[in-house]
Structure 1
């Protein structure tokens, strides 16, 4: 790239080159402007000032996320070191000598940046990418004394809620190695369920924390939207991005949330607020609380799921809560609203952290790597993402993506419907998923089968990514030896309440 002197007389690389007249002519034709060469020359002359502004911009040092603790790049695990095929990379990063997570081992979903450590996001499109920054949640874990043992496998670009799309192969369920763990935080759930680590940090844009938590029989919390900073993680769509804790117990889930939550100054999804000590507020039981079982949430569930989840009502009643059936008709439309928002929004935003139009941290190296690779090798994109692109481009060309706007507007109505129910009830409840963990698909399964099995079961989980309500999945019991999750949903920023209700269930289920 050509060099020029800056204001200090030092030679620097030029930020951008001025376009040639031919380049402008081609762009003008593509955009339908049909400008004359004389007009293009005048535009080109004006662009000299813009080019100079870019040069001044290039010479500034931008704020970035910190890296505070030493580490090595780690290594890919050997088969014998990789139960459930759940590790993407093995590490050993030790945090502070003291803190709330002292003695706790942690897995980080491989869509979350750990500086100096190769990151795949489950995809060929990330091969060769090494972030130079730590995501905020990584720094907070290490500052609290946590020990990071590795990056957990996630699904290809996190674009499925099953566990068979990662470039490293299927992640198997510790309860039955022929079955899916669910995704896209597949490795996180398997490692926690199998007792390999104490805690994990997952991501959730359609159920990707709660789905694998349900099918693996652990606790997974999608916090209130914006409570946990998303800075330094791969975005899918900025209005539905969530990071959250996964653990074997409600206490550990609350502990990790206590460490992760709070404004970091980099994430536009957040607001400044005081963070309570969740671990000290969740042991007061459910006496006097009102719990609403949402009828629409049971509508498409298999009978054993219905029976196991409905049996929790009596557990809460015996603990002193009032439990009633309730109806939220709008819930039936929750997935069409939220999936439209996610599908078209992901395509329009250009994927992984574009964050366009929002103030906050832009993971530029991540974005540049992905876009460069996709331009050169678009066939490396997974079928689930290709499907989204095909549909996104079709609706953009033929309908001007108007349904994205409609879905965003309807999210306001969907949010209000849940809020109305939560005026009567302290929490609302439904099955996390309509059926138990299914068998992993055959290696030669048709594309149509793989696409259908990617996220057809997220009817109950998807809506709360759009509305931002906190939602937790906790094991309610078993059928045929397989876990069945119950999902507890609460008011915005009342994550304490859903943890409290979950803890009461966990405590009293062990007595029955």
Structure 2
């Protein structure tokens, strides 16, 4: 683009907006001073930054017809074949449609992004292809990934393969239906409040949200940097572990990543069995106001089955868990809108900025009237609380996260993992498209009381199907210490090997 030097009228408008009280003489002087700044901007404009190389050929793909798009789960179908002979050679994988696949359209569930085509591959995409995966396309997701239901995408609701009148969970909704129906071997979703684990519970598969930062988020459209996680969704535990081994690790471009453990062997412990594992069933994860008794009962039965396999299982009270969702709320509400208003990336961090996405999304305010009610509710809440308190409650909540994490870690000092229902309810009915904001928003946000605290704290959490209630899947969530993914896979694989959840 061409840099336009600011003129006197631009400085006048800026002065009025900022309340600087400049005189006409000062305005003239500052206008002249902007010449030097504009010169440096023009130099930057003329330069070309280094972007990650796109190495594997692909076509833009095609938008599938209804006949080839069961459950309305796909956004774009394509085929990108990875390197033969890799660790996951032959696995067919879907990408949530907020993950960049260069040359293939991406809209993040939002009409405002329709037509955007990324120019880079996400780091995790390159890693999948380097190890032999075949990417089959981009899966639908919820509008800006705000909803935990599957009804908010601009392209219509995603339907649950177990009952097409019900939610498939979100915001990784298309991935959910594709994995649950066996149409792909695995999918990569993202999770800021439960968006990998909620779908896993609603449709009956394995959903792993690893420790915050373990999987690089580079090249994935962010929601809130302290909550952002990419995760693996698969039909079985071992496939999940194999995929995580491939995509985990430093890439040098994601500020979410801290000092990571050198060993990332998640598959070797899948055969180790449950003997010696210590499991704390968290009493406060059950009996929420909207908890369904048959869901709680199915998860308690799952805990008893783990005990029958040799694990030590105790029920523990952890009162602060009941406030975990409340602590998460200001971070998710204000942080999401802060990210949007920062042209989807904000600033003050080092790493890969995808400027093509920033350009594509920069005019979102002009289309805000098209947003679904759940996105509007987040915008309204963030606007009110930021105007009233100037971000103090976002900051206080971030400070309280340390207390919340310490409470979980106190229990985890004596136990290998925590256990609770992934969500308190079975997959609910999809709302009518013409329902009012109360039902629309309620259905989008009703289920994440147990999942959201582990986005705020960053602890790893996996949802596995543990049984059924009234013919619908029930998810059991296991939570561990930072970087204890191998232990969580061990427990999950032991349960999966011993019990077929579909017959329970």
TM-score range, shorter chain: over 0.9
Matches of 2:419 and 2:234, distance apart in 1: 20
Mapping for residues 130-141 of structure 1, pairs under 5 Å? 130-141=117-128
4+ runs of 1 displaced by more than 4 Å? none
Contact residue 188 and residue 201 of structure 1 kept, 8 A: yes
Matches of 1:101 and 1:355, distance apart in 2: 35
**Paired position in structure 2 for 1:9:** none
Matches of 2:442 and 2:38, distance apart in 1: 48
Contact residue 109 and residue 187 of structure 1 kept, 8 A: yes
- The DSSP-based 3-state class of the residue aligned with 2:136 is strand
**Paired position in structure 2 for 1:403:** 393
**Paired position in structure 2 for 1:336:** 326
Q: Of 59, 63, 71, which aligns to 1:72?
A: 59
Q: Does residue 1:507 correspond to 2:497, yes or no? A: yes
Q: Does residue 1:361 correspond to 2:323, yes or no? A: no
Q: Of 247, 261, 278, which aligns to 1:290?
A: 278
Over the aligned positions, Cα root-mean-square deviation in angstroms equals 1.4
Give deviations 1:463-483, integer Å, cap 9, x for gaps.
100100000000010011100
**Paired position in structure 2 for 1:8:** none
Q: Does residue 1:82 correspond to 2:69, yes or no? A: yes
Task: Give the superposition deviation at 1:350.
Answer: 2.5
**Paired position in structure 1 for 2:214:** 227
The TM-score normalised by the length of structure 1 is 0.95
**Paired position in structure 1 for 2:6:** 19
Matches of 1:83 and 1:96, distance apart in 2: 29
**Structure 2: runs of 5+ lacking an equivalent:** none
Q: Of 409, 434, 441, which aligns to 1:419?
A: 409
Contact residue 233 and residue 353 of structure 1 kept, 8 A: no
Task: Give the superposition deviation at 1:401.
Answer: 1.9
**Paired position in structure 2 for 1:371:** 362
- The DSSP-based 3-state class of the residue aligned with 1:167 is coil
The TM-score normalised by the length of structure 2 is 0.96
Mapping for residues 319-330 of structure 1, pairs under 5 Å? 319-330=309-320
Q: Does residue 1:182 correspond to 2:169, yes or no? A: yes
Give deviations 1:157-196, integer Å, cap 9, x for gaps.
1110000111111111111111110100011011011011
Contact residue 355 and residue 362 of structure 1 kept, 8 A: no
Matches of 2:382 and 2:56, distance apart in 1: 41
Q: Does residue 1:156 correspond to 2:137, yes or no? A: no
Aligned residues: 498
Matches of 2:173 and 2:237, distance apart in 1: 19
Give deviations 1:87-129, integer Å, cap 9, x for gaps.
1011011111111111110000001111011111111010110
**Structure 1: runs of 5+ lacking an equivalent:** 1-12
Residue 78 to residue 337, structure 1, CA distance change in 2 (3 Å): same
Matches of 1:245 and 1:384, distance apart in 2: 25
Give deviations 1:38-82, integer Å, cap 9, x for gaps.
112222222222112212222332132321100000000011101
Mapping for residues 152-301 of structure 1, pairs under 5 Å? 152-273=139-260, 274-300=262-288, 301=291
Task: Give the superposition deviation at 1:272.
Answer: 4.7
Contact residue 241 and residue 266 of structure 2 kept, 8 A: yes
- The DSSP-based 3-state class of the residue aligned with 1:377 is helix
* Bigger Cα displacement from structure 2, 339-348 vs 380-389: 380-389
- The DSSP-based 3-state class of the residue aligned with 2:201 is helix
Matches of 2:465 and 2:365, distance apart in 1: 43
Task: Give the superposition deviation at 1:349.
Answer: 2.6
Matches of 2:292 and 2:377, distance apart in 1: 28
Q: Does residue 1:103 correspond to 2:93, yes or no? A: no
- The DSSP-based 3-state class of the residue aligned with 2:4 is coil
- The DSSP-based 3-state class of the residue aligned with 1:276 is coil
Task: Give the superposition deviation at 1:318.
Answer: 1.9
Mapping for residues 27-42 of structure 1, pairs under 5 Å? 27-42=14-29
**Paired position in structure 1 for 2:99:** 112
Mapping for residues 1-20 of structure 1, pairs under 5 Å? 14=2, 16-20=3-7
Matches of 1:112 and 1:18, distance apart in 2: 35
Contact residue 303 and residue 419 of structure 2 kept, 8 A: no
Q: Does residue 1:443 correspond to 2:433, yes or no? A: yes
Matches of 1:400 and 1:95, distance apart in 2: 48
Matches of 2:10 and 2:93, distance apart in 1: 51
Give deviations 1:281-302, integer Å, cap 9, x for gaps.
2221121121000000002121
- The DSSP-based 3-state class of the residue aligned with 1:278 is coil
Q: Does residue 1:347 correspond to 2:337, yes or no? A: yes
Give deviations 1:20-51, integer Å, cap 9, x for gaps.
11111121111111211111222222222211
- The DSSP-based 3-state class of the residue aligned with 2:270 is coil
Contact residue 106 and residue 113 of structure 2 kept, 8 A: yes
Matches of 1:282 and 1:36, distance apart in 2: 72
Task: Give the superposition deviation at 1:344.
Answer: 0.6
Task: Give the superposition deviation at 1:212.
Answer: 0.5
Contact residue 185 and residue 202 of structure 1 kept, 8 A: yes
Contact residue 5 and residue 38 of structure 2 kept, 8 A: yes
Task: Give the superposition deviation at 1:443.
Answer: 2.5
Matches of 1:232 and 1:66, distance apart in 2: 12
Matches of 1:152 and 1:283, distance apart in 2: 32
- The DSSP-based 3-state class of the residue aligned with 1:89 is strand
Matches of 1:77 and 1:272, distance apart in 2: 42
